[in-house]
Chains A and B, each alone.
Chain A
Amino acid sequence: MALSVNLAQINSAARGNSDLRETLTGIHLALQSLYAQTGTTPLTKLDTTATAFTSPPAASKLAVSGANGSFTVSITPAQSSNNAPLYQEISSSPVANFVSAVTVYPISTNTSYVFPNPGSTLYWRLRSSYNQQSWSSYLVQPGAVSSGLMSSAAAGSNLSLNQSNYATVDSVAAGSTATVRVYGSGGVGTSWTSILGNGSKVIASGTILNVAYSSSGFVVWDGQKYQLKPQLAQTFPDTWVPVGKISVIANASGLVLPVIHAVVTGGAIVAYQIINPGNGLTAAPALTITDSSGSGATATAVVTAGAVTQVTPGSAGSGYSTTPTVTASGGVSGGASGGGGATGDNGGRLYANV
């Protein structure tokens, strides 16, 4: 309803008070002027809540620096005249054009972040939004940023520093004893790289023979050769490089691999017959199918209580003779070949401040 006051009301209210009459008359005239401009209901409730902003905000400023194994991100938000919350989405990639391996961090209204990521070099970008639906264009920080390596002083308790060691340590059966192998990412027989602080060294691959079954120990590089020490404390001399922990499982001399025949119809393998289910298996053996003419068939063995109870056909293949050979191998968990395999705990997992 429009607020109004007329001259009769003013005279009645003011009576002999000329000052009050003058004041009320001024109000009357002002209202008349206002109504003439805005209509009869010019007074409406002010809405103090922010309206929804769907158009994206102006880009904020992004600054990323790297030190001591972490990225520090600082955002200077674009000016917002409406006090609406400004959401920021940060993402990084190892490539400048962000076409692969993009990591998108959780959207937040925060303006500073610390992302621990030792030894990484990444590109960074930022986009902003009021409603997390309509985003500003990406603002890319020029050039890649390196986080650097983490010093032990900056590491949190019980933090894995496994990135400093690229050795693989495992073991395989070799007759009456097991063989422990140390090698790099290129496979058995390839060297590996140890990173210590700012330096790194390439260390030769190695093979330790004659290791007793059911034993465990810690492999360490003493600068000339590998040593296998039963206790961790024995690997602590300053110049030695921890390589890995090895647990050689029991000799699988009782292992009997299964004997399986393939059933061929029209050149394709349609079924498998378990002639001998085997014994002592702790993992499904790999099945390799060979033949003088056919190819392409695959199958998977299912092990229950140490023996093969089922063979699941995969691809049927084609061109098989009536007598393809099915060869089972492996069958022991943790080992590349039957028995004596290692369990877990590869190499050189170092923990800080434990």
Chain B
Amino acid sequence: MYSLHQQYLDLASGFHVIELRDQRGNRHLIQLAVGHDACPACGAVHPKDNLGTLDPAAAVHQINQALNTSQQQMLTYAAKHGLTVK
């Protein structure tokens, strides 16, 4: 099962980085783009103005659930076919 391992704000890239890890140390990174938006054509930056609507906890909960559902499906598959889980 995945759970929160660490989180931090990376000012250089403008990402709120949330690291999940499962029982085997496998990582999944959630990155909230909280920095500026940039124009893909010219690179010009625009101020980020929708941070008020972001809910990191909800995002983590939703993705965590999805990951664990997938992992459970994979483990069921492995058990069904007699596979060793590494």
The answer to whether B29 and A207 have CB atoms under 8 Å apart is yes
Distance in angstroms from A82 CB to nearest chain B CB is: 58
A6 within 8 A of B: no
Q: Mark A202-214, 1 if CB is under 8 A from B, else 0.
A: 0011111111100
A325 within 8 A of B: no
B13 within 8 A of A: yes
Q: Among residues 263 to 291 in chain A, which have CB atoms less than 8 Å away from a CB atom of chain B?
A: none
A217 in complex: contacting residue of B40, B59, B63, B67, CB < 8 Å: B40
Specify which chain B residues have a CB less than 8 angstroms from the CB of A224 in the assembled complex. 17
> What is the chain A residue whose CB lies nearest that of B48?
A210
Specify which chain B residues have a CB less than 8 angstroms from the CB of A109 in the assembled complex. none
The answer to whether A189 and B71 have CB atoms under 8 Å apart is yes
Known A-B contacts A216-B40, A227-B15, A231-B43; A207 and B33 likewise in contact (beta carbons under 8 Å): no
A215 within 8 A of B: yes
The answer to whether B31 and A209 have CB atoms under 8 Å apart is yes
B27 within 8 A of A: yes
Known A-B contacts A187-B70, A217-B40; A228 and B33 likewise in contact (beta carbons under 8 Å): yes
A176 within 8 A of B: yes
Q: Among residues 222 to 263 in chain A, which have CB atoms less than 8 Å away from a CB atom of chain B?
A: 222, 224-228, 230-231, 234
Distance in angstroms between the alpha carbons of A234 and B13 in the assembled complex: 11
Distance in angstroms between the alpha carbons of A225 and B66 in the assembled complex: 20
Distance in angstroms between the alpha carbons of A187 and B42 in the assembled complex: 33
Q: Using a Cβ–Cβ cut-off of 8 Å, how many residues does chain B contribute to the interface with A? A: 28
A193 within 8 A of B: no
Specify which chain A residues have a CB less than 8 angstroms from the CB of B10 in the assembled complex. 225
> What is the chain B residue whose CB lies nearest that of A210?
B33
> What is the chain A residue whose CB lies nearest that of B39?
A230
The answer to whether B33 and A208 have CB atoms under 8 Å apart is yes
Specify which chain A residues have a CB less than 8 angstroms from the CB of B13 in the assembled complex. 222, 225, 227
Q: Mark B10-44, 1 if CB is under 8 A from A, else 0.
A: 10010101000000001111111110011110010
B50 within 8 A of A: yes
Distance in angstroms from A297 CB to nearest chain B CB is: 25
Specify which chain A residues have a CB less than 8 angstroms from the CB of B67 in the assembled complex. 189
Distance in angstroms from A81 CB to nearest chain B CB is: 59
The answer to whether B29 and A226 have CB atoms under 8 Å apart is yes
Interface of B is mostly: mixed
Specify which chain B residues have a CB less than 8 angstroms from the CB of A216 in the assembled complex. 40
A11 within 8 A of B: no
B79 within 8 A of A: no
Known A-B contacts A176-B50, A176-B53; A188 and B70 likewise in contact (beta carbons under 8 Å): yes
Q: Mark B63-75, 1 if CB is under 8 A from A, else 0.
A: 1001100110010
Known A-B contacts A177-B50, A204-B29, A207-B28; A230 and B40 likewise in contact (beta carbons under 8 Å): yes
The answer to whether A207 and B39 have CB atoms under 8 Å apart is no
Distance in angstroms between the alpha carbons of A222 and B37 in the assembled complex: 19
Specify which chain A residues have a CB less than 8 angstroms from the CB of B26 in the assembled complex. 191, 204
The answer to whether B29 and A230 have CB atoms under 8 Å apart is no
Distance in angstroms from B6 CB to nearest chain A CB is: 11
Specify which chain B residues have a CB less than 8 angstroms from the CB of A208 in the assembled complex. 15, 31, 33
> What is the chain A residue whose CB lies nearest that of B22?
A189
The answer to whether A206 and B31 have CB atoms under 8 Å apart is yes
Distance in angstroms between the alpha carbons of A210 and B29 in the assembled complex: 14
B1 within 8 A of A: no
Distance in angstroms between the alpha carbons of A122 and B37 in the assembled complex: 48
Interface residues of B (CB under 8 A from A): 10, 13, 15, 17, 26-34, 37-40, 43, 50, 53-54, 59, 63, 66-67, 70-71, 74
Interface residues of A (CB under 8 A from B): 176-177, 186-191, 204-212, 215-217, 222, 224-228, 230-231, 234
Q: Other than A206-B31, A226-B31, A231-B40, give 20 A-B pairs with Cβ distance below 8 A.
A: A176-B53, A177-B50, A186-B74, A189-B67, A189-B70, A204-B26, A205-B28, A205-B29, A206-B28, A207-B28, A207-B31, A208-B33, A209-B30, A209-B33, A209-B54, A211-B33, A216-B40, A225-B31, A230-B38, A230-B43
A-B contact pairs, 5 of them (CB 8 A): A206-B30, A224-B17, A225-B29, A227-B13, A231-B43
